[in-house]
């Protein structure tokens, strides 16, 4: 098993038409968003407007949730959805998607190349999760949290707004020992 912590100061923040986007991690690490040559990307965006149009990510699947503020999604010709904080929306990156949000909104995004096995869910203090063999897993929270790597009987203290990344080489059980804020976990199976 490999692990690393990516700290806030190592994130990459860039402007986009509706605000700022902060890339927490991209895989492979030498991939770029503009070339769309990545298998997955984790990011968080803020808004300077109350309405925006999502970028076309044909060939990708998207997960999104609001960390702060309010966020409503409109998938043109399909359906609309108002999201509560930490409520996950999963949709095709080729869809024509628009959003309405409050100006204090911050979202969290997980974009995955289509055809790959992945998921995003929310964990809280006391929750356990079983990780598969050959996965890349990220854990993120707005506030500090403690995770127990059960197979190794080791704890990790993770600072808020940092990304904890685990690459598994066998099945692994994790548990959240303490957390004052929900923890977002993404899982990507390496083919």
**pLDDT tens digits for range 125-184:** 999 999 999 999 999 999 999 999 999 899 999 999 999 999 999 999 999 999 999 999
DSSP states along 73-120: EEETTTEEEEEPTT--EEEETTS-EEEEE-TT-EEEEEEEETTS-EEE
Using CA atoms, how far residue 190 sits from 26, 62, 91, 109, in Å, is 14, 18, 21, 19
CA distances, 47 to each of 15, 50, 106, 151 (Å):
10, 7, 7, 41
pLDDT above 80 (res 17): no
What's the rounded Cα separation, in Å, for the pair 188 and 191?
A: 9
Mean pLDDT computed over 81-108: 96
Q: What share of the chain is helix, strand, coil (3-state, %, to 5)?
A: 0, 60, 40
Tell me: pLDDT of 36 over 80.
yes
Residue 146 tokens, joined: 């403690």
Domains of the chain: residue spans and CATH: 7-113 (2.60.120.10), 118-189 (2.60.120.10)
Mean residue pLDDT across the chain: 96
Higher per-residue pLDDT: 18 or 9: 9
pLDDT at 9: 95
Q: Quick one: pLDDT at residue 191?
A: 83
CB-based contact 136:165 (threshold 8 Å): yes
């Amino acid at each position: 098993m490999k692990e690393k912590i990516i700290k806030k100061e190592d994130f990459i923040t860039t402007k986009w038409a509706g605000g700022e986007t902060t890339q927490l991690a991209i895989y492979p690490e030498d991939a770029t968003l503009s070339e769309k040559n990545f298998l997955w990307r984790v990011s968080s965006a803020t808004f300077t407007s109350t309405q925006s149009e999502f970028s076309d990510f044909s060939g990708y699947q998207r997960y999104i949730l609001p960390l702060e503020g309010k966020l409503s999604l409109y998938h043109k010709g399909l359906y609309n959805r108002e999201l509560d904080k930490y409520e996950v929306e999963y949709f095709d990156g080729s869809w024509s998607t628009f959003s309405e949000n409050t100006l204090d909104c911050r979202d969290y995004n997980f974009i995955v190349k289509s055809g790959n096995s992945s998921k995003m869910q929310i964990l809280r203090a006391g929750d356990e999760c079983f990780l598969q063999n050959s996965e890349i897993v990220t854990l993120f929270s707005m506030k500090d949290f403690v995770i127990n790597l059960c197979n190794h009987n080791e704890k990790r203290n993770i600072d808020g707004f940092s990304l904890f990344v685990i690459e598994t080489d066998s099945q692994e059980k994790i548990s959240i020992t303490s957390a004052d804020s929900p923890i977002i976990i993404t899982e990507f199976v390496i083919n």
